[in-house]
Amino acid sequence: MKNYLSPYTKINTLLLVALFSALLAPQLTKAQSLQNPPDTIKVQGATYQKVKEKGEYPKVVGYLSFIVPIVTHTDGRFIRNFDHHTASIGFPVGVNVLYSDKFGFSYEFTPTIRSSGGTSKMSNLLFDPGTMFRFDHGVTVVTRLAFETSGRYGFTPVFNKVFARTKDVNYFVAFSLPNRFGNAEPYSIGLNVQFGFTFN
């Protein structure tokens, strides 16, 4: 005598199989993801860490440079560097945190050495962090805040251009317009030229 299953029994059996399959699927998926994380690759039974592409962000680069003030306008007059046997030169060092091909943030410190009357001394230390807006062909515009140990403060727009690239370093030239206030002195605006290199 044949034993026939009722339609309800068949439906209940199919539902139970589907339920168990659904419960087991996440465990199987989790086990597979643990065996092969997304940043690894498996070759001939061995698992290797994938190497990050060079253009991946964020990345941090350091730089060294020197900066020469050309001229400063303050209180209705122009003051030129190297006038009257007086000269100033700064040595900006910093770190750029690059978040994309278009944007980054820069942290910069600039000690300044002033020579006058046959003697020289460190006359000022500037901290000027700022946002970096990066464009094609190695052009970058940096909007910096400025805080000086001399008591002056303000902001400095910087226009930067990479003019030579090598495997290890990129060489750049920059022009900046320091705007300064405070310390019981009149407002001033200057023109500086900067040369340096970033480490790749």
- Rounded to whole angstroms, the Cα distance separating 146 from 109 reads 10
Specify the pLDDT at position 154: 98
**Which residue is listed with tokens 């589907």?**
18
Confidence (pTM): 0.70
Estimate to the nearest angstrom the gap between the alpha carbon of 61 and the chain centroid. 7
Low-confidence ranges of the chain (pLDDT < 70): 1-55
Q: Cα–Cα distance between 126 and 146 in angstroms, integer?
A: 7
| pLDDT score, position 84 | 73
